[in-house]
Amino acid sequence: MKKKIMVLLAFLGLFIWFIASNFSNKDETITVSGGVTSESQILGSIVVALLQHYTDKEIVFLNNLGSANMMQAAMERGDLDIASPRYTGTDLVGTLNLPVEKDPEKALKIVQEEFRERYQFEWFPSYGFSNQFTFMVTKETAAKYHLKKVSDLKKYADKLNLGTDQTWYKREGDGYQAFTEEYDMSFKRVYPMQVGLLYDALAVGELDVILGYSTDGRVGSYDLVMLEDDHKFFPPYTCSLVATDQVLKENPQLKKILAKLANTIDTETMQKMNDESDRQLLEPALIARQFLEAHNFFEEEIK
């Protein structure tokens, strides 16, 4: 009996040590999310490399969180300290369950205030770009029909074939049906398909117009023309990162370190980095380090 008690006490002591060491290690780590897209992996890798350089903490990279909902749930549980990237349009409607706000500055201000009040999370200033739904054409088509804005398509839409994301075509609120009502136009035919196929189909002339993403690397590599959404039909998807108040309090320098990324990445830069990942097959971590080195982030001091 005495031997069993000794074994039990030893096991209990080991369990207590394991729990205590985990809590102790948690204080020495900062957990950062990436995602399943090239863009999210690159931006997450930028945050990771920056923190590895400027702090002595162990940086844990969760590189497989596939949605804003997953990131949000992980942050609320305390499993995630910094979520990158987050987009205003996604979180405004999906996470906060608030109405769409078409003004980018107002949308950003709303999510910053609501995240602070509801969750005690800090929504940082934008990286400097917004990943928007964007209508695109080739340079030849833009010149032929004198296209600069989406409304310029109205005269020719009934002669043109449009390719779109499958989900957007059927979506209520800001999908194809709502678009035709807002812009008072309908295309000759609409072909819903996987996003990756849209750009190739446009480049070879199988489609005349596509609805793509403004930071997709193929916009630049195919030299496409993005048409201005002059009716502001699509909500803004301003991109930033979110950190918990807890990790910012535990690491006083962290806010200044992360703030260094504000307004450093424009649309063309994000397109280029996405292209390096998707077409040139460079690793996101390498792309992130090259970006930070090119912009002298590793040579600056945090004051």
Region 162-180 average pLDDT: 90
pLDDT digits (tens, 9 = 90+) for 199-233: 999 999 999 999 999 999 999 999 999 999 999 99
Q: What is the DSSP string of 44-79?
A: HHHHHHHHHHH--SEEEEETT--SHHHHHHHHHHTS
Distance CA 108, CA 86 (A): 11
Distance CA 192, CA 36 (A): 22
**116: its two tokens:** 């602070």
Q: How confident is the model at residue 195 (pLDDT cuts 50, 70, 90)?
A: confident
The β-bridge partners of 29 are 58
Domains annotated for the chain, with CATH where assigned, are 2-130+237-299 (3.40.190.10), 133-226 (3.40.190.120)
Region 28-45 average pLDDT: 94
- Residue 99 carries which side chain, given as an amino acid letter? P
Distance CA 77, CA 302 (A): 30
b or e along 109-147 (b: 16 or more beta carbons within 10 Å of the residue's beta carbon)? ebbbebbeeebebbbbebbbbbbbbbbbbbeebbeebeb
Task: State what percent of residues in the chain have pLDDT above 90.
Answer: 81
